[in-house]
Amino acid sequence: MYKRQLAALQQANRFIQYGAEILDIGGESTRPGSTPVTTEQELDRVIPVIQEISAAHPEIILSIDTYKARVAQSALQAGAHWINDIWALRADDDMGSVAARFGAGLILMHNRSQPSQVEVQSKLGGRYIGVEYQNLIRDVQDELMQSVSLAHAAGVADEKIILDPGIGFGKTVEQNLELIDRLDEICKLGYPVLLGPSRKGFIGYTLNLPPDQRMEGTAAAVAIGIDRGADIVRVHDVPEIVQVARMTDAIVRCRRE
């Protein structure tokens, strides 16, 4: 087994042991200011890993984090179950038909990322500045539902769709904070909602901390997100955040009952 595959399988084993139920596998960084990779590079990075994890853990949902239809199709053939498309079917016209053909779960993420609006600081990394919305929540809702319409037109079943408000993607620090606080309004669209705040720039710039010191800030964002209705959270610090998620969910469920 190659070193990359072995390392990925070992990390998957750890995450599953700590309580992860979904593993999101990606071969291209989507951080503000990151450099894109080719389709071939992405395939080389993700397909062997998906094959290994799928064989070792058939009970775990595997998500392929890509906006390229060819990568998504190969990943589904290799054992993935979901597509996590950060451009919500707006980067590759074939993505919706791939999801429909395989009956895959489809995560549609809101995204207004523009490289010209990225500011990078050496300690804190990238953030978006000067991003304007007429009405933040309504604009995110409308653009997510436009992607839902694209999915329906491609033949994706309604029950396969999951929405992601796109924390950190084309939103300022203040907009990210507001979006998490008002996540319940995204949940009102009627689809399961995934929240991915883990270690992101809005935490770093709020607390003046580099990425490797943002676990507590991530925990706060996750707790608020679950309180506001998030169904799935995407995180790096699995052991700690699993406990945060379970405790928050228990409190919220008790209140609602």
Handedness of CA 245, 247, 248, 250 (dihedral sign): positive
Residue among 234, 246, 253, 256 flagged as catalytic? 234
Domain holding 79, by residue range, is: 3-195
| Domain annotation covers residue 208 | no
The pLDDT, as a whole number, for residue 3 is: 78
Residue 70 lies in a domain: yes
The CA distances from residue 151 to 75, 76, 105, 159, in Å, are 19, 17, 11, 11
Please pick, among 200, 228, 246, 255, the residue that the annotation labels catalytic. 200
Q: What is the dihedral of CA 182, 183, 186, 190, to 10 degrees?
A: -130
Report if residue 226 sits inside a domain. Answer: no
> Residue 6: what pLDDT?
85
In 5-30, which positions are buried (b, 16+ CB within 10 angstroms) versus exposed (e)? Answer: eeebbeebeebbeeebebbbbbbbeb
Is 200 part of the annotated catalytic residue set? yes
Instruction: Give the model confidence (pLDDT) of 66-95 as tens digits.
Output: 999 999 999 999 999 999 999 999 999 999
> What tokens were used for 153?
């037109």
Domain assignment present for 235: no
215 belongs to a structural domain: no
CATH of the domain at 188: 3.20.20.20
pLDDT attached to residue 58: 95
Total tally of structural domains belonging to the chain: 1
Could you tell me if residue 214 is inside a domain? no
Mean pLDDT of successive 10-residue stretches along the chain, which has 257 residues: 80 95 92 82 95 95 98 98 98 98 98 89 91 97 98 98 97 98 98 98 97 97 98 97 97 81
Position 8 scores a pLDDT of 87
Residue 242 is assigned to a structural domain of this protein: no
Contact (Cβ atoms closer than 8 angstroms) between residue 183 and residue 195: yes
Question: Per the domain annotation, does 249 fall within a domain?
Answer: no
Is 234 assigned a catalytic role? Answer: yes
pLDDT of 33: 65
| pLDDT for the residue numbered 171 | 97
